[in-house]
Amino acid sequence: MDLREKIKNKSAKVGIIGLGYVGLPLAMEFAKEGFSVVGIDVSREKVDKLNQGENYIIDVNDNDLKWAIEKRLFRATTDYSVIKDVDAISICVPTPLRKTKDPDVSFIIAATEELAKFVHKDLIIILESTTYPGTTRELVLPILERSGLKVGRDFYLAFSPERVDPGNPIYKTKNTPKVLGGITKNCTEMAKLLYEQIIEKVVPVSSTESAEMVKLLENTFRSINIGLANEMALMCDRLGVDVWEIIEAAGTKPFGFMKFYPGPGLGGHCIPIDPFYLSWKMKLLNYNAKFIELAGEINSSMPEYVVTLVADGLNMKRKTINGSKVLIIGVSYKKDIDDTRESPALDVMKLLEARGANLEYHDPFVERIVLNGKELRSVDIDENKLKSYDAVVIITDHSNIDYQMIQKYSSIVVDTRNAIKGRYENVLKLGARRVVGL
């Protein structure tokens, strides 16, 4: 049967490499549309959990996973040889930065090397991992073409940037427009046909490089604007005005302004990392991405600023960070999710611990973390517990936390998210005038 027909009648078999925040939701969308899906992951623990119907991704419905397994529309494996029997495969592996802020594409290369052992005619391959422009053509394609198969004729290669926003109640995989670009026109057409079966809107672009650049523009835009908001917060603090009030007032303008908020630093798997993929690539072309570097400098300095707020608050009580008992509220990188990747809370905690603070944390979504090799577990909070701390620091403003209780019973609160509305003598806010006389 022709590959196009197999896609249209949903008899095509789909493989997903990488069963994390991107891969597993994508696998579920294919399964819900009737495609037979096999997920491949190097983690035996993940594979075993999924095959037993145990879900670990917040954006995947537990019942959807169990249903897909019961209907034999989804299974997980560590065995790449299953690629021999699939018609399309999406690569959804991590792409972190090294400490030197150079791209680490080792996961992409490793997945592609394994895939290349089983590549066959009439196979659609789509890379979704965020990376620098040129990765699909310069790294992935040569590995696949060792097989002797010709791209655009024997197999189809495209790039489609993931646009996952963990915990977003409105936009999920299905209703978030999908950008994609192929190595050839045929590659674009085949990838588009595949994703049109599960995504409400597919947006083709002219090349893999264009598709790769789209994702970097999106997250560079956010990083730079958050950097501007953070610098505004630092300036407002010195000017004696409230940045939160100013942002809300500016947001009433019906055109030419978009609200971005300051915070304790950037977190997550995209915004702190993706712009530096582009910056690194441009350095190879003898160009310095000034906005990216400056925004990165400002955003990465925010945890230090938060620590100065904690020190100021404690000083007003004639205390020091050294020896103080400090509670961190929220350790995930954003509200109402359990993801701690690149979370600014961890940076703030490391800085406070280095200055001698005794740390505990409360997060209803994160049961345990490892900080400097030591395991910490979330503590419960109540009136008496809050009174026992010298300072409470709100890093992540989860919706199900009682901030009025925190304000009422805490000696000092450092609020980095404007979680506590209004002005109180015991609350120091990021980017707001300092209250003297605590």
Which active-site residues does the annotation give? 270
Please name the amino acid found at residue 110: A
What does the CA dihedral 356, 362, 365, 371 come to, rounded to 10 degrees?
20
CB 330 within 8 A of CB 401: yes
Axis-axis angle for helices 243-250, 208-239 (nearest 10): 130
Tell me, letter by letter, the H, E, C secondary structure of the chain. CCHHHHHHCCCCEEEEECCCCCHHHHHHHHHHCCCEEEEECCCHHHHHHHHCCCCCCCCCCHHHHHHHHHCCCEEEECCHHHHHHCCEEEECCCCCECCCCCECCHHHHHHHHHHHCCCCCCEEEEECCCCCCCHHHHHHHHHHHCCCCCECCCEEEEECCCCCCCCCCCCCCCCCCEEEEECCHHHHHHHHHHHHCCCCCEEECCCHHHHHHHHHHHHHHHHHHHHHHHHHHHHHHHHCCCHHHHHHHHCCCCCCCCCCCCCCCCCCCCCCCHHHHHHHHHHHCCCCCHHHHHHHHHHHHHHHHHHHHHHHHHHHCCCCCCCCEEEEECCCCCCCCCCCCCCHHHHHHHHHHHCCCEEEEECCCCCEEEECCEEEECCCCCHHHHHCCCEEEECCCCCCCCHHHHHHHCCCEEECCCCCCCCCCCEEECCCCCCCCC
CA-wise closest residue to 306 among 349, 338, 242: 349
Tell me, letter by letter, the H, E, C secondary structure of 15-68. EEECCCCCHHHHHHHHHHCCCEEEEECCCHHHHHHHHCCCCCCCCCCHHHHHHH
